[in-house]
Amino acid sequence: MNFPLPTSVPRLVDTLRRSSRPALLWYGADGERVELSGRVLDNWAAKTANLCVDELDLGSGDLVVLGDEVHWRALAVTLGAWTAGAAVRPSDPRGTTADGDVVVALVDAEGGLPPLLAHPPAGARAVVVDRPALSLGLRGGAPDDAVDYCAEVRSHADVYSGLEEPVADGPALPDPDVGQEITHARLLPRALEEAAGREEQWGTAAAVHVPGRQVDPRFLLRVLAVLASGRAVVLTDRDTADGSWTAVLTAENAVGF
């Protein structure tokens, strides 16, 4: 890294706010390409944190269950939840139940409600996320009692003025290697452990592709490690087995994790 490790995810997002360079590059299977600068990614995280607190009543230690489909908005939701001091737990969207205070998932490719949100646990708020980058809300509207993320998040403030820091020993993410929670204080150090020895391999690359077809704790830790390195993270849900993906990485001056 070329700057000191921030003490928490909100402080990492603070460093992104001062950057006009790309922080996130998304290549969708539908051909969509989305580029978010550090400043814009910070904006999405702040708006999401404000939505979490003001509309979803989330606080320190509350749990956000996140559908496991890879999408750039899943990262915005995750960073926003952590900024608000909540814990995030990826879950299989094919399941029908999940414990948690809030359950968040993407609509399917046809705009249909994902199974994870079809039967949310009693008392949990459901948040439905649309796919297109320019979406202003779900076609046909959200189901009863569900929050339409794309319709609601834009109305929230661009700066989060809540917790200065998440509770240090509060849960943030399940550890993929041991049966316990990673705390907010340990989240970034644990992410760098995931990337140990890769800085030299990444060299002068401007971006790093984090592979994977589902969001899980290891995936999120790797995304954090790339952001903490000062590079852009490249995400995709498209097939990367053919030569066209190599051309994408070359064009973006990116390497693989």
What string of H, E and C letters represents the secondary structure of 217-241?
HHHHHHHHHHHHCCCEEEEECCCCC
Domain count within the chain: 1
* Sheet order of strands, 87-91 included: 87-91, 63-67, 102-106, 125-129, 146-148
Residue 148 CA to residue 127 CA, distance in Å, equals 6
* Structural domain contains residue 4: no
Q: Of all residues in the chain, what percent carry a pLDDT higher than 70?
A: 96
Would residue 63 count as lying in a domain? yes
pLDDT of residue 1: 46
Dihedral (C-alpha) 36, 158, 131, 141: value to the nearest 10 degrees?
-160
pLDDT category at 93 given cuts 50, 70, 90 is low
Q: pTM, whole model, 2 decimals? A: 0.94
Evaluate whether residue 1 is within a structural domain.
no
pLDDT category at 95 given cuts 50, 70, 90 is low
Closest CA to 74 of 103, 95, 40: 103
pLDDT grade for 98, boundaries at 50, 70 and 90: low
Cα distance between residue 112 and residue 1, in whole Å: 41
* pLDDT of 81: 97
With contact defined as beta carbons under 8 Å apart, do 91 and 115 qualify?
no
Residue 218 domain boundaries: 9-256
Taking the CA atoms of residue 114, residue 116, residue 122 and residue 126 in that order, the dihedral angle to the nearest 10 degrees is: -50
Encoded amino acid at 142, one letter: A
CA atoms within 13 A on the CB side of 142: 21
Q: What's the confidence (pLDDT) of residue 92?
A: 63
pLDDT, average across residues 123-135: 92
Determine which helix (DSSP H) or strand (DSSP E) holds 170, and give its type and residue range.
none
Q: Which amino acid is present at 73?
A: R
116's torsion region: left (phi>0), alpha (psi -120 to 50) or beta?
alpha
CB 106 within 8 A of CB 74: yes
pLDDT > 90? residue 232: yes
pLDDT at 100: 85
What's the CATH code of the domain at 131?
A: 3.40.50.12780
Q: What is the mean pLDDT of residues 212-232?
A: 95
Stronger pLDDT, 221 or 5, i.e. the higher one = 221
Per-residue CA distances from 209 to 115, 212, 225, 250 (Å) = 28, 9, 12, 11
